[in-house]
Homo-oligomer: A and B are copies of this chain.
Amino acid sequence: MTRTTDARDRLVAAAQELYAARGVGATSPRQVLAASGVGQGSLYHHFPTKHDLTLAAVGATVEDALAESLRALSAEAPALDRALAYLGRPRDALAGCKVGRLTGDQAVMDDDGVRTVVGTYFTRLVDAVARVLTEAGVPDAEARDRAHAAVAVVQGGYVLARATGDADAMRAAVRGMAALLQAEAGR
């Protein structure tokens, strides 16, 4: 098999970038085409429909994002510190979460295949946070609720920051959550 998938790779990379910047629904195949520099025919050869392109690009983005998040959660440190490290990770709050934003994208929600990929990201992320909290001594049932809350605070932080145009809103939200988790642990 010769090196003929170059155009495909460039198409996926261009799509990931445009989707992150403008969303899936607001990005046309034509724009991806222009950004990638390949020809019209190549796009439709590798990705017969927009659905196919979206699935490939979103899949790649989800994989990247999950790997990054899991790194913070599996560092060499006490469990509670790892949970706090996840919360406090540096984030481009005004840009929004590359994955979370897809949830508000009609083009994604209307496409079952793509939506499932996005859903998997969050179930796996919540599971990972719950394991860390359990390790930190939180009883199982409560660890799952706290994990949902922690991941939700981050996603909601993005919403607040973008809506108000103020990145501090995200910082305030994670600070509030971190303080509550520490208060509970330190009693």
Which A residues contact B (CB, under 8 angstroms)?
Answer: 22-23, 25-26, 96, 100-107, 109, 115, 118-119, 121-123, 126, 142, 144-160, 162-165, 169, 172-177, 179-181, 183-184, 187
**4 smallest beta-carbon distances between A and B, as pairs:** A104-B104, A152-B156, A149-B176, A145-B176
CB–CB B103/A159 < 8 A? yes
Taken together as a complex, chains A and B put the C-alpha atoms of A166 and B23 apart, in Å, by 23
From B106, B157, B181, give the contact of A152 (CB < 8 A).
B157
Is there an interface contact between B156 and A119, defined as CB atoms closer than 8 Å?
no
Q: Are B173 and A148 in contact (CB under 8 A)?
A: yes
Question: Which residues of B lie under 8 Å from residue A126 when comparing CB positions?
Answer: 160, 169
Which of A25, A145, A146: most chain B CB closer than 10 A? A145
Q: How far is the CB of A128 from chain B (nearest CB, A)?
A: 14
Cβ A163 vs Cβ B115 within 8 A: yes
Chain B residues positioned under 8 Å from A150 (CB to CB): 176
Check B179–A142 contact: CB distance below 8 A.
yes
How many Å from the CB of A170 to the closest CB on chain B?
Answer: 8
A20 shortest CB reach to chain B, Å: 12
Min Cβ gap A106→B in Å is 4
**Which residues of chain B are within 8 angstroms of A148 by Cβ–Cβ distance?**
157, 160, 169, 172-173, 175-176
State whether B103 touches A103 (Cβ < 8 A).
no
Question: CB-nearest residue of chain B relative to A156?
Answer: B152
Q: With a CB–CB cut-off of 8 A, which chain B residues contact A156? A: 151-157, 159
